Amino acid sequence: MDELPIGRRVAYWRNRRKMSQQVFADRLGKSKSWVDKVERGVRRLDKFSVVYEIADVLQLDVQILLGKDPERRPDSVNCVDQVEVEEIRAALERYDQISAFFYAPPEPPPLPEMRKAVTHAWLSYQHAKYGMLARTLPRLLREAQAADTAYADGAQGREAAHLLGQVYQIASSALRKLGEHELAWLAADRSIAVSQRAGDQLLAGTATTRVALALLSLGRSRPALEINVNIANRLAPGTDGNDCAPERLSVYGMLLLQGAMAAARIGDGATVRDLLGGAEEAARGLDGDHNYYWSCFGPTNVQLHRAAAAVELGDGRVAVEVHAGLDLEAFNALLPERRAHHYLDQARAHALIGDIELASEMLLEGDRLAPSEIRCRPLAREVLSDVLRRTRGTPTAPVAELAEHMSVGV
Contact assessment for residue 383 and residue 351, using Cβ atoms and an 8 Å cutoff: yes
Query: For the chain, first and last CA: distance in Å?
Result: 30
- For 297, the 3-state DSSP assignment is strand
CA-to-CA distance for 386 and 372, rounded, in angstroms?
19
pTM for this model (two decimals): 0.80
Quote the distance between the C-alpha of residue 92 and its chain's center.
15
β-sheet bridge partners, residue 297: 290
Contact assessment for residue 66 and residue 21, using Cβ atoms and an 8 Å cutoff: no
CA-to-CA distance for 318 and 185, rounded, in angstroms?
31
Nearest to 177 by CA among 372, 315, 357: 372
From the CB of residue 404, how many other CB atoms can be counted at a distance below 10 Å?
Answer: 11
Nearest to 344 by CA among 307, 298, 315, 303: 307
Contact assessment for residue 330 and residue 342, using Cβ atoms and an 8 Å cutoff: no
- For 123, the 3-state DSSP assignment is helix
CA-to-CA distance for 299 and 280, rounded, in angstroms?
6
Q: Over its length of 410 residues, how does the chain's per-residue pLDDT go in tens digits?
A: 445 688 888 888 888 777 889 989 988 889 999 999 999 988 988 777 788 788 878 877 676 777 764 333 334 456 776 777 888 888 887 765 555 444 555 677 889 999 999 999 999 999 999 988 988 899 899 999 989 888 877 789 999 999 999 999 999 999 999 889 999 999 999 999 899 899 999 999 999 999 999 999 999 999 999 999 999 999 998 877 778 899 999 999 999 999 999 999 999 999 999 999 999 999 999 999 999 999 999 999 999 999 999 999 999 999 999 999 999 999 999 999 999 999 999 999 999 999 999 999 999 999 999 999 999 899 999 999 999 999 988 899 999 999 988 888 76
CA-to-CA distance for 151 and 117, rounded, in angstroms?
17
β-sheet bridge partners, residue 290: 297
Contact assessment for residue 264 and residue 312, using Cβ atoms and an 8 Å cutoff: yes
